[in-house]
Amino acid sequence: MLVVLIGVWEGAVDLFRIPVYLLPAPSAIWSDSVAIAGTVAGHTAATLHTVLVGFVVSFAISLPLAVLLTSSPYVSNALYPLIVLTQSIPKIALAPILIVILGANELPRIVITFLVAFFPLVIAIATGMLTVPPELIELGRSYKASRLQELYRIRLPYAVPFIFGGLKVAIALAVVGAVVAEFVNADKGLGYLIITATAFFQVPVAFGALILLSVMGIVLFQAVVIIERVFFPWSAVNQEAVIV
Amino acid sequence: MIEIDKLSKVFQSQDGEDVVAVRNFSVAIAKNEFVSLVGPSGCGKSTMLRLVAGLIPPTVGTILIEGVPVREPRQDTGIVFQSPTLLPWATVADNVLFPLKMMHQMAVDSLDKANALLGLVGLAGFEKKYPRELSGGMQQRAAICRALIHDPGILLMDEPFGALDALTREEMSLELLRIWTEQPKTILFVTHSIPEAVLLSDRVIVMSARPGEIVEIVEVPLPRPRSFAVEARSEFQDCAQHIRKLIFGARDEHDGAPS
């Protein structure tokens, strides 16, 4: 299917003589990108680094935050408006300000990636922990489980399928966040490559960067899926049951 | 063993009204006695069980177990709920060991004990399976093993066979009797099924709905050990009929329907 699509694309560009700055042929994208393969690889590695660090930070902050949010209604009432506030700020508008505050380095890009990715993760984990069936909580209580035991032995394991649901959304959003941050300020990364390439009308290179970003998104998403299947098989099974 | 004295439980409904779930409930249950609670839906049977389990506090009255008031869940109590409530992420053996882990009582021979219990209910070889790989009846057997793992003196069962099909249900009742004979315990058994209550129990507490009060405590005059053969005896039929009248007779009078 993909091969046919690429073939039609290549043929159409040839047939209708579409200028390369409007829609480059797949062969042009390939040859132009491969010509600067070293540079492209460097940019890819930079973006991948930002995405992964931002993603890991999102998870590391979301998990305890969700535990805190679900611990009591008071905490939840105090924190929820703040979390929603971070989501109502347009990230692309925040980026230049963050760069002034944090400096022109990778840190503001990681912060933007985190701000884009963490929200659905917190919501997913908190939802999972709050939807534990009351029977399971009662089971824990009838065998004198402490609150910590209830958290580790019942609430968190129960939330695992929800956590992975959130992680899948978060990894996709982390790629978006990293590229948005690179558009605003970066000296490397695929987002930066797209900006500079289009500025010099190197449209095939920009397309090459775009394709690399899509592939990165798909590979990272699949990585999350595989981690779930390998380490939490019962969670993957439950989700299939929900979908089917 | 269990002394319940003038116990009442009042819940607050969402619109702030008081709902009396159980009223003026008194009974004394002897050690290793098998007692069933029977009554129409909403008569407070499950509430009664949760009160004895120490999961909820009474509004008025006291529950004494071996002379000590029940204020929180006790180590000496095992509970079987209507649904198996097994942890889907844990193997059958780990599920059975759950109470020991929670109460920090894991010992070197705990796993052997779990396996032995699983063997007792016909689940040998399923120790490493996950709950989703088991049928409903097998899951409930595993849940019964979990309630027995810490060797409790009291077993509280809240419609444990209610979610099972009729055949599995009959099979499980006999199995429960067999376990109870091998490992005598005080059992408080909540059920909707009158024949099940008569087949299993020494005494049947018949309750009325709203408020949940004791209508009568019926002695079951059947010898032990029991099997399905006792269901054919006239004592069984009379006893079941008597309980049926206590529950439905009262209802007919209220509704004015012909009986």
Please give the pLDDT value at position A65. Answer: 93
**Greatest Cα pair distance in chain A:** 76
Query: Are B19 and B103 in the same domain?
Result: no
Beta-carbon contacts of A244 under 8 Å, excluding residues fewer than 6 positions away, are: none
Distance between CA A188 and CA A45 in Å, rounded? 9
Query: Are B137 and B9 in the same domain?
Result: no
Residues A145-178: tens digit of each pLDDT:
898 999 999 999 999 999 999 999 999 999 999 9
Which residues of chain B does A232 touch, with a Cβ-Cβ cutoff of 8 Å? Answer: 89
Considering Cα of B240, then B243, then B249, then B251, what sign does the dihedral take?
Answer: negative
Distance of CA A85 to the CA centre of its chain: 20
In the DSSP assignment, the letter for residue A152 is I
Distance between CA B219 and CA A50 in Å, rounded? 74
Please give the pLDDT value at position B258. Answer: 47
In a domain, B243, yes or no: yes
Which residues of chain B does A238 touch, with a Cβ-Cβ cutoff of 8 Å? Answer: 88
| Closest chain A residue to the Cα of B88, Cα to Cα | A234
ipTM: 0.82
Which residues of chain A does B81 touch, with a Cβ-Cβ cutoff of 8 Å? Answer: 135, 138-139
Residues B162-218: tens digit of each pLDDT:
888 888 888 889 889 988 998 899 999 999 899 999 999 999 999 988 788 899 999
B55 → closest Cβ in A133, A138, A160: A138
Distance between CA B236 and CA A175 in Å, rounded? 71
Query: Are B93 and B214 in the same domain?
Result: no
Per-residue pLDDT for B137 more than 90? no
Residues B17-68: tens digit of each pLDDT:
888 888 999 999 999 999 999 988 878 888 999 999 999 999 999 999 998 9
In a domain, B115, yes or no: yes
Q: CB–CB of B89 and A232 under 8 A?
A: yes
Residue type, A216: M
In a domain, B68, yes or no: yes
B102 → closest Cβ in A133, A135, A143: A143
- Residue-range definition of the domain harbouring residue B166: 2-76+154-255
Give the other-Cβ count within 10 Å of A240's Cβ.
8
Distances (CA, A) of B71 to A122, A140, B55, B60, B230: 36, 16, 8, 13, 39
Which residues of chain B does A163 touch, with a Cβ-Cβ cutoff of 8 Å? Answer: none
Residue type, B258: P
Please give the pLDDT value at position B14. Answer: 83
Average pLDDT score over residue span B122-126:
89
Residues A133-152: tens digit of each pLDDT:
988 999 999 998 898 999 99
Distance between CA B160 and CA B157 in Å, rounded? 6
Please give the pLDDT value at position B256. Answer: 46
Q: CB–CB of B132 and A237 under 8 A?
A: yes
Domain residue ranges of chain A, discontinuous segments joined by +? 42-232
Residues B88-123: tens digit of each pLDDT:
999 999 999 999 999 988 888 999 989 988 988 888
SS3 A181: helix
Return the minimum-mean-pLDDT range out of A55-64, B64-73, B242-251: B242-251
Closest to A166 in 3D by CA, of A45, A60, A59: A59
Query: Are B130 and B11 in the same domain?
Result: no
Which residues of chain B does A148 touch, with a Cβ-Cβ cutoff of 8 Å? Answer: none
CB B146 within 8 A of CB B91: no
Torsion of CA B219, B222, B226, B228, to 10 degrees: -100
B102 → closest Cβ in A140, A157, A232: A140
Average pLDDT score over residue span B5-17:
87
Query: Are B180 and B60 in the same domain?
Result: yes
Tokens of A229: 């299947």
Return the minimum-mean-pLDDT range out of A19-23, A46-50, B78-82: A19-23
Query: Are B58 and B159 in the same domain?
Result: yes
Query: Are B163 and B179 in the same domain?
Result: yes
Is the CB of B89 inside 8 Å of chain A's CB atoms?
yes
Query: Are B105 and B188 in the same domain?
Result: no
In a domain, B81, yes or no: no
Here the contacts of A203-207 (C-beta below 8 Å, separation 24 or greater) are A203/A20, A203/A21, A203/A22, A203/A24, A204/A20, A204/A24, A204/A28, A204/A29, A204/A31, A204/A32, A204/A33, A205/A29, A205/A32, A205/A33, A205/A36, A205/A40, A207/A24, A207/A29
For strand B60-65 and strand B68-69, is the pairing parallel, antiparallel, or unpaired? antiparallel
In a domain, B235, yes or no: yes
Here the contacts of A95-100 (C-beta below 8 Å, separation 24 or greater) are A95/A180, A95/A181, A95/A183, A95/A184, A95/A185, A96/A184, A96/A185, A99/A184, A99/A185
B85 → closest Cβ in A139, A144, A232: A139
For strand B18-29 and strand B186-191, is the pairing parallel, antiparallel, or unpaired? unpaired
CB B136 within 8 A of CB B163: yes
Give CATH for domain A42-232: 1.10.3720.10
Peptide bond into B258 cis (omega under 30): no
Q: CB–CB of A145 and B102 under 8 A?
A: yes
Where among B151, B168, B183 does a domain terminate?
B151
Beta-carbon contacts of B65 under 8 Å, excluding residues fewer than 6 positions away, are: B1, B2, B3, B52, B74, B76, B154
Where among B121, B151, B181 does a domain terminate?
B151
Where among B151, B183, B203 does a domain terminate?
B151
Query: Are B98 and B8 in the same domain?
Result: no
Residues A84-107: tens digit of each pLDDT:
888 888 888 888 888 889 888 889
Distance between CA B112 and CA A29 in Å, rounded? 65
| Closest chain B residue to the Cα of A160, Cα to Cα | B89
Per-residue pLDDT for A127 more than 50? yes
Distance of CA A34 to the CA centre of its chain: 27
Per-residue pLDDT for A20 more than 90? no
The runs of H, that is alpha helices, within A16-105 are: 26-35, 37-71, 73-88, 91-102
Query: Are B192 and B70 in the same domain?
Result: yes
Beta-carbon contacts of A24 under 8 Å, excluding residues fewer than 6 positions away, are: A13, A32, A203, A204, A207
In a domain, B179, yes or no: yes
A135 → closest Cβ in B81, B89, B132: B81
Is the CB of B55 inside 8 Å of chain A's CB atoms?
yes
Q: Where residue B55 sits, what CATH number does that domain have?
A: 3.40.50.300
Compute and round to an integer the Cα radius of gyration of chain A: 22
Q: CB–CB of A142 and B77 under 8 A?
A: yes
Please give the pLDDT value at position A241. Answer: 46
Per-residue pLDDT for B259 more than 70? no
**Number of structural domains in chain B:** 2
* Confidence grade of residue B250 (pLDDT, cut at 50, 70, 90): low
Give the other-Cβ count within 10 Å of B259's Cβ.
9
The mean of the pLDDT values for chain B is 88
Please give the pLDDT value at position A239. Answer: 52
Closest to A36 in 3D by CA, of A234, A210, A191, A202: A202
